[in-house]
Amino acid sequence: MNKKRILTGDRPTGKLHIGHYFGSLKKRIEMQESGEYDPYILIADVQALTDNFNNPEKVRKNVREVAIDYLSVGIDPKKTTIYIQSMIPEVAELTVFYSNLVTIARLQRNPTVKTEIAQKRDLFGESVTYGFLGYPVNQAADITAFEGELVPVGEDQLPLIEQAREIVRKFNSIYGDVLVEPKAVLSSEKRIKGLDGNEKMGKSLGNAIYLSDSEEEITKKVMSAVTDPGRIKKDDLGNPDICMVAYYHNLFSTKEELKNVCEECKGGKRGCVACKKQLAKNIIEELKPIREKRSYYEVHIEEVDKILMEGTKKAQAVAKETMKKVKQAMKLDYEI
């Protein structure tokens, strides 16, 4: 059976948090274990440099951290190819070729790019770098270098995949049917809110629980979570619909626990401290196997490095074959 190739990835700008866990990692593991797909996961260090160009040490360090997170949650290198983006020179070549097929105006209209530029005003001011503006072109190269058929994404990433599809169609219309046009697989998982209620979870916002957090760190963060601001005393009637603790109970607690939490909150029968302590206990319990595996890999870094190098070597071979076809189509297959 021919397995459909899946392309996913993460930028190594920090350790992965529970938003990644519920938003994409669980889905990747599910698809990995189905046996129907050929999954590739890139650690996108080149893309990470688009807004961390002045801190390469951070990006380099986090390549390993992200790899360890992958292995800790259950990404199996025997079933999924994990590789480092910067070690695939063909991706950089394709990015250059594709840059001739996309206008600056089109990139500026990309909704995802517009949103992310607005979020990076403190970094760029009014002068956005070419690398950041053009990262959808680089992403198209990432996908097509491996003939990715399916790209699981959240709804906010759909414009990037559509841009990749446009590039493929343009290329094929000029040079022949060489590239595989990717399809987005829309994730059914919603983005997980931060502990402060923010729609986005991240390190810069200080509202995330990381897969590598200790029991003490998890408890401390949960105890700081935003609750119903109108509830001052334990016997005040609460509204779990505007409480982030109830929101997280929905993720980490049983249906029965969630039902009790909501009923007792509405009836003023349970205080926020007790509710938070139960939540922290549940989060700690669910993340315990992940932390244990992570502890193993943290002291066996040589295994992590070996997995990365073997996966990258496999990815290099695939990208070389794609580039061979691309250069033949573009009449750039010179022989010396």
Domain shared by 130 and 36, yes or no = yes
Tens place of pLDDT for every residue, the chain, 336 residues?
589 999 999 989 888 898 888 878 888 899 999 999 999 999 999 999 988 888 999 999 999 999 999 999 999 999 999 999 999 999 999 999 999 999 999 998 988 888 888 877 776 777 888 888 888 999 999 999 999 999 988 777 888 999 999 999 999 999 999 999 999 987 766 778 899 888 888 777 788 999 999 999 999 999 999 988 888 787 778 788 889 999 999 999 999 998 998 888 888 888 888 899 999 999 999 999 999 999 999 999 999 999 999 999 999 999 999 999 999 999 999 988
> Cα–Cα distance between 30 and 6 in angstroms, integer?
12
With contact defined as beta carbons under 8 Å apart, do 82 and 12 qualify? no
Domain shared by 35 and 147, yes or no = yes
Domain shared by 140 and 259, yes or no = no
Is 208 part of any domain? no
pTM of the predicted model over 0.75:
yes
Domain shared by 221 and 126, yes or no = no
With contact defined as beta carbons under 8 Å apart, do 221 and 283 qualify? no
Structural domain boundaries, residue 109: 4-192+301-329
| CATH number of the domain enclosing 232 | 1.10.240.10
Tokens read off for 48 = 């990470």
> Cα–Cα distance between 120 and 215 in angstroms, integer?
33
Q: Sheet containing 183-186: which strands, arranged edge to edge?
A: 81-84, 37-43, 4-10, 150-153, 183-186
| CATH number of the domain enclosing 324 | 3.40.50.620
Domain shared by 184 and 255, yes or no = no
Domain shared by 288 and 308, yes or no = no
Domain shared by 122 and 234, yes or no = no
Domain shared by 152 and 23, yes or no = yes
With contact defined as beta carbons under 8 Å apart, do 42 and 9 qualify? yes
Q: How many domains does the chain have?
A: 2
Is 334 part of any domain? no
Domain shared by 290 and 151, yes or no = no
Domain shared by 167 and 252, yes or no = no
Is 200 part of any domain? no
Is 133 part of any domain? yes
Domain shared by 147 and 291, yes or no = no
Domain shared by 245 and 318, yes or no = no
Angle at 266 between CA 236 and CA 224, to 5 degrees: 70
Is 272 part of any domain? yes
